[in-house]
């Protein structure tokens, strides 16, 4: 993880300050507020601010003035009911803001989730750091044979070493040309004091997608859970999945009852189509059913059998 000296100083300053408040807080999240959690080789995620807690979800659902005399178990039951029946509005009453450092290609995937407020580091205004992502050898895999956007088996050690060598050499060469076009070293001194550098907004276009960017990302709890349901899934690309996994741990600290319901009904549950439900009912009735007689195509059948834990 690469956190600059200025960022470390800011983190220490913020964590040293204590703010009196009458608002609800999440003690477990307060413990890690502002801290940077490492992700990949140079990336991180940290919580900058948040609003609401489990109680805010319950309060919004009941439209009450306070917590009242309800038991914790009743609140948990209501949250589970809301999650189970997809009553999403109460979850929108909580918000959280992250500071994320991530490779540009991950950011391009991430930005597809258009339900957040984003402010990204500007390479038109500032110079990007010499930091680029290099996958671990175990993450260098061939194209999957059954998935056009996924990975298959790992490359051989010799192939992995060759690919890593190319990635590193190309990235370093791109940054060297970036500095040359800017006429500026990483420390800010000019390469040639007698020459003008190319505008930053143009010099940046030569950098590859594995270079790191940073942004502040603010989102409500409902849309954050939707993001996580897609990005912690085993089919998500590894490099975005590890960010989502770190954020899911932070959600557990923030809203533990919502987190438990999310694991139960979203990540740990399954959704059946009408055809799939009919198949399950026929199987429960004792019918020896085949894919051909199910009314489902081969892929749907295979996915249903995998969900049910049955042999193909």
Give residue-wise pLDDT tens across range 66-99: 555 566 678 999 999 999 999 999 999 999 999 9
Q: How confident is the model at residue 144 (pLDDT cuts 50, 70, 90)?
A: confident
Marked catalytic residue, from 46, 200, 231, 253? 231
The confidence score (pLDDT) of residue 297 equals 94
Q: Which two tokens stand for residue 233?
A: 């899934």
Q: How far apart are CA 117 and CA 10, in angstroms?
A: 22
Is 70 annotated as catalytic?
Answer: no
Q: How far apart are CA 11 and CA 5, in angstroms?
A: 10
Give residue-wise pLDDT tens across range 231-250: 999 989 999 999 999 999 99
Unique residue bearing structure tokens 């897609």: 230
Checking if the pLDDT of 283 tops 70, the result is yes
Count Cβ atoms below 10 Å from residue 150 Cβ, excluding itself. 14
Checking if the pLDDT of 65 tops 60, the result is no
Q: How confident is the model at residue 118 (pLDDT cuts 50, 70, 90)?
A: very high
pTM, two decimals, is 0.91
Spatial strand order in the sheet of 95-103: 37-39, 43-51, 95-103, 212-220, 117-120
The confidence score (pLDDT) of residue 242 equals 98
Q: Is the separation of the CB atoms in 87 and 44 below 8 Å?
A: no
Give residue-wise pLDDT tens across range 24-37: 899 999 999 999 99
Average pLDDT on 120-148 reads 89
């Amino acid at each position: 993880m690469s956190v600059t000296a200025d960022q470390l100083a800011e983190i220490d300053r913020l964590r040293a300050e204590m703010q009196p408040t009458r608002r609800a807080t999440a003690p477990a999240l307060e413990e890690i507020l502002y801290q940077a959690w490492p992700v990949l080789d140079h990336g991180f995620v940290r919580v900058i601010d948040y609003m609401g807690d489990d109680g805010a979800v319950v309060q919004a659902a009941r439209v009450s003035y306070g917590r009242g005399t309800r038991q914790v178990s009743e609140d948990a039951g209501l949250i589970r009911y809301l999650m189970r029946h997809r009553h999403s509005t109460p979850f929108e009453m909580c918000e959280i803001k992250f500071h994320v450092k991530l490779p540009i290609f991950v950011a391009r995937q991430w930005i597809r989730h258009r339900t957040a407020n984003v402010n990204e580091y500007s390479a038109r205004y500032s110079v990007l750091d010499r930091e680029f992502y290099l996958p671990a050898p175990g993450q260098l895999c061939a194209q999957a044979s059954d998935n056009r956007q996924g990975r298959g088996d790992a490359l051989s050690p010799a192939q992995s070493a060759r690919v890593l060598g190319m990635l590193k050499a190309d990235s370093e060469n791109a940054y060297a040309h970036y500095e040359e076009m800017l006429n500026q070293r990483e420390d800010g001194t000019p390469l040639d004091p007698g020459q003008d550098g190319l505008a930053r907004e143009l010099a940046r276009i030569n950098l590859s997608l594995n270079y790191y960017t940073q942004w502040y990302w603010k989102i409500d709890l409902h849309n954050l859970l939707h993001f996580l349901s897609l990005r912690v899934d085993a089919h998500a690309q590894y490099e975005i999945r590890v960010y989502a996994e770190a954020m899911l741990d932070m959600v557990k600290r923030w809203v533990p009852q919502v987190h438990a319901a999310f694991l139960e009904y979203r990540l740990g549950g399954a959704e059946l189509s009408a055809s799939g439900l009919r198949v399950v009912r026929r199987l429960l009735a004792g019918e020896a059913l085949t894919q051909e007689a199910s009314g489902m195509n081969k892929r749907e059948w295979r996915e249903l059998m995998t969900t049910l834990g049955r042999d193909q």
